Structure 1
Amino acid sequence: MHVMQYEITLPADYDMGIIEERVATRGRLLDAFPGLGLKAYLVRERGEGSPVNQYAPFYLWAAPEGMNSFLWGPGFQGIVDDFGRPVVQHWTGLAYEEGPASGTVPATATRRRTPLGEGVAPGRAVEDALARHAREARRDGVVASALAVDPRHWELLAFTLWAGAVRPAGPEPAVEEGERYRVLHLSAPDRDRLGTGRQW
């Protein structure tokens, strides 16, 4: 599993209805894209829990051929033509889980980035993160959840799709979810190829 995201930050007075219309008219073009586990068309809006207006699509690729086909083909070129070439962030997949609400269309998403300090043993940090991820993926309202790592910057990434609003963590200490997004559309042609649990 390969994890990918790019963020297009828009002016404070930008009409986010333009992005909604873009997704409404073009989002389904990837509903059958080979190798794509899922793409969540995400937005966050200034003044609604976010400091910025942003369009930030998030991808889980089931096959690297699919990711390459998208990045070097007309799909990504449409983004470049309309917004300029964004930085494409990517992470190595560690785990994927379907949640209790897996049959539901997601309404919101969260992304939590956690840096690993220099004194942290990578293997131990990943094992601890995997255990936490497995617990968090079982929370009410979770549609699906992925855990990944960027070994260049030594950063863990937890991404969760939710059926509605983010649910509290329950009896465990409150979970800091990080950035929150609205999901405008979900393309998931090869979601079943993402597997479940750890990726090795």
Structure 2
Amino acid sequence: MHAMQYEITLPADYDMGIIRERVATRGHLLDDFPGLGLKAYLVRERGDASPVNQYAPFYLWADPEGMNSFLWGPGFQGIVNDFGRPVVQHWTGLSYEEGPASGAVPGAATRRRTPLREGVPPGEAVADAVARHAREARRDGVVASALAVDPRHWELLAFTLWADAEAPAGEGERFRVLHLSAPGRGRLGAGRQW
């Protein structure tokens, strides 16, 4: 599993209805994309628990070929054509869990970044994080949750989809989910990824 996200920060007075319309008319195009586990079409709006207007799709790829096919194909080129080429962040998958609300359509998502502590062996820190992630994914309202790591910056990333339209406070950065494409969600595997 590979996690990937790009963030398109928009002007403070940007009409976010444009993004909603974009997702409403184009979101379904990835509903059967080969190699894609899931794509959550995420937005944050200034003043709604966010300091910025932002379109920030989040992907979980079941295989690298699917990710590469998207990045080097017409799908990502559409983003580049409309917004310029954003930085694409990516993380190596550590764990994926379906939550108690796995059958629900997610309304919100959270993203939490945590640096791996210095002085702790990386394998030990990651094993502890995976165990904590498994417990957190069993909370009420969780649709699905992924844990990944960026070994360049030694940063953990926890991404969670929530059934409610409002994500719980204190879980990290909060987003609204406009659409979920999940053609290979069952291929993401459960639990630890090594």
Contact 1:100 1:139 in 2 (8 A): yes
SS at match of 1:156: strand
Q: Which runs of 4+ in 1 moved over 3 A?
A: none
Hey, what does 1:166 align to over in structure 2?
Answer: 167
Contact 1:140 1:167 in 2 (8 A): no
Letter in 2 for 1:83: F
Aligned ranges 1:1-200 → 2 under 5 Å: 1-164=1-164, 165-167=166-168, 176-200=170-194
> Deviations 1:124-155 (Å, cap 9, x if unpaired)?
11011111100100000000000000000000
Contact 1:95 1:199 in 2 (8 A): yes
Structure 1 distance, partners of 2:2, 2:190, is: 14
Structure 1 distance, partners of 2:125, 2:117, is: 10
After TM superposition, give the deviation of residue 166 of structure 1 in Å.
2.8
Contact 2:117 2:125 in 1 (8 A): no
- List alignment gaps of at least 5 residues for structure 2: none
Q: RMSD in angstroms over aligned alpha carbons?
A: 0.9
**What is the aligned-residue identity percentage?**
86
Structure 1 distance, partners of 2:157, 2:124, is: 16
With the length of structure 1 as denominator, give the TM-score of the two structures: 0.95
Contact 1:141 1:166 in 2 (8 A): no
> Deviations 1:141-182 (Å, cap 9, x if unpaired)?
0000000000000000000000003347xxxxxxx3110000
SS at match of 1:124: helix
- List alignment gaps of at least 5 residues for structure 1: 169-175
Structure 2 distance, partners of 1:166, 1:117, is: 27
Structure 2 distance, partners of 1:124, 1:15, is: 46
With the length of structure 2 as denominator, give the TM-score of the two structures: 0.97
SS at match of 2:95: strand
Contact 1:139 1:167 in 2 (8 A): no
Contact 2:141 2:163 in 1 (8 A): yes
